[in-house]
Copies of this chain bind each other. A is one copy, B any other.
Amino acid sequence: MKTRNDLLKLDALDPLAPLRDLFDLPEGVIYLDGNSLGARPNSALARAGQVIAAEWGHDLIRSWNTAGWFDLPKRLGNRLAPLIGAVEGEVVVTDTTSVNLFKALAAAVQVSTNSGRRVIVTERENFPTDIYMAQGLARWLDDGYQVKLVDSPAQLAASIDADTAVVMLTHVNYRTGRLHDMQAITAHAHAQGALTVWDLAHSAGAVPVDLHGAQADFAVGCTYKYLNGGPGSPAFIWVPARHQAHFSHPLTGWWGHAAPFAMAADFTQVKGIGRALCGTQPIVSLALVESGLEIFEQTSMHAVRQKSLALTDLFIELVEQRCASHPLTLATPRAHAERGSHVSFGHPHGYAVMQALIERGVIGDYREPSLMRFGFTPLYTSYADVWDAVEILRQILDDHAYDTAAARGAVT
């Protein structure tokens, strides 16, 4: 049996431990929700001050050029690229994940226009906004397109066939933390003549992603989770060089124009990744993304992954040991190859238990139905944090009779 002292020793040896000092984490909190909103890098406050006081306040309109505001989506995209197996000139940070998904899906289905393929395959358990955006696009294309919802990962391969235009998947499932095999699914989709669109919301900065290695077609993702870009910080979109020449979508705003300041009355797409841009971006929120990205340059996704797996292994092990008498059901795969960086346990009173945890300073979150979700962010979570979180969970479950029928009525 491990002891808390064993974990303090692991922390002392952890090469990532010093990175915790780069984040502002409140006293008395064990933050296990970085998969929903990443913690604040210390540098974000000074960076905001610079953008607001100096660039906006003092330099005013000139900052579009002198402070590089216009280039920020590309500059940040280039900085993010190595984390997802992309290269320079293939990523921009812009708009929201939903809007970027719309662009990527629109571009992907366009390739299929003449093929007669009319099905977008995704999972029923995909994050809802992804499904909704695909449904929105399909309805408006008005050309027979439909969204097929696959009920389980096991049925996925068989669901991709000669009618499939696009396979749209989230790499790590937001509820269960299950990780797809991007390379295998992409290869299968390609073999069936379909393209792939990957949502990296729960994988960018959490697990190593190799978009080129997997020969993926398009990808989008989020910067406010594991990348610590700040609440609702702009999302990213990846279009590999081989798809850029025919990448087109309906959101043809002036930032995607070949010469935006020529003010021509006709839209001419810019060459390269710039064509994934649309309108003017929220610069303050965008600039803060850099505070999150620069921290990753002090480590590697390999090191992050090693610690992530160690943390999630440890959490599963300790919960199963120390809370064994309670009706907790692991929803996250045990196999490393199938696990992202969060762990979910079902409990009949998951919502009430999570509220009690949060009151005690262990911040995870809750997802219907009955799932308690715990995110492990190797940049700022220690092994001792895992111990302490499980100890508080154990106390809550032992002290409150959440498991009994009587309590069930009381807490619902």
What residues of chain A have their CB less than 8 Å away from a CB belonging to chain B?
Answer: 24, 26, 29, 31, 33, 36-37, 39-40, 44-45, 48-49, 51-53, 55-58, 60-64, 69, 95-99, 102, 106, 124, 127-129, 131-133, 135-137, 139-143, 149, 175, 224, 230-235, 249-255, 257, 260-267, 278-286, 288, 358, 363, 365, 367-368
> What residues on B are CB-neighbors of A96 within 8 Å?
95, 253, 278-281
- Report yes or no: A279 in contact with B129, Cβ–Cβ below 8 A: yes
- Report yes or no: B61 in contact with A279, Cβ–Cβ below 8 A: no
- Report yes or no: A61 in contact with B33, Cβ–Cβ below 8 A: yes
> What residues on B are CB-neighbors of A254 within 8 Å?
98, 127-129, 132
How far, in angstroms, from A233 to B280 measured CA to CA in the complex?
A: 8
- Among B60, B264, B367, point to the contact of A29 (Cβ < 8 A): B60
Q: How far is the CB of A292 from chain B (nearest CB, A)?
A: 11
- Among B95, B106, B260, point to the contact of A128 (Cβ < 8 A): B260
> What residues on B are CB-neighbors of A253 within 8 Å?
96, 98-99, 129, 132-133
- Report yes or no: B252 in contact with A136, Cβ–Cβ below 8 A: yes
How far, in angstroms, from A260 to B235 measured CA to CA in the complex?
A: 19
- Report yes or no: A135 in contact with B56, Cβ–Cβ below 8 A: no
> What residues on B are CB-neighbors of A26 within 8 Å?
57-58, 60
> What residues on B are CB-neighbors of A44 within 8 Å?
52, 56
- Report yes or no: B33 in contact with A286, Cβ–Cβ below 8 A: no
- Report yes or no: B69 in contact with A57, Cβ–Cβ below 8 A: no
- Report yes or no: A250 in contact with B137, Cβ–Cβ below 8 A: yes
- Ordered nearest first, which 7 A-B pairs have the shortest CB separation? A96-B279, A98-B279, A282-B285, A136-B252, A98-B253, A129-B254, A231-B283
- Report yes or no: A282 in contact with B60, Cβ–Cβ below 8 A: no
Also in contact, A283 and B230, with CB within 8 A (given A60-B37, A135-B266): yes
> What residues on B are CB-neighbors of A249 within 8 Å?
136
- Report yes or no: B252 in contact with A133, Cβ–Cβ below 8 A: yes
Q: How far is the CB of A131 from chain B (nearest CB, A)?
A: 6
Supply 15 A–B pairs (Cβ within 8 Å), ascending by A: A33-B61, A37-B61, A61-B365, A62-B363, A98-B254, A99-B253, A128-B260, A128-B265, A129-B279, A131-B265, A136-B252, A142-B142, A232-B280, A232-B282, A263-B367
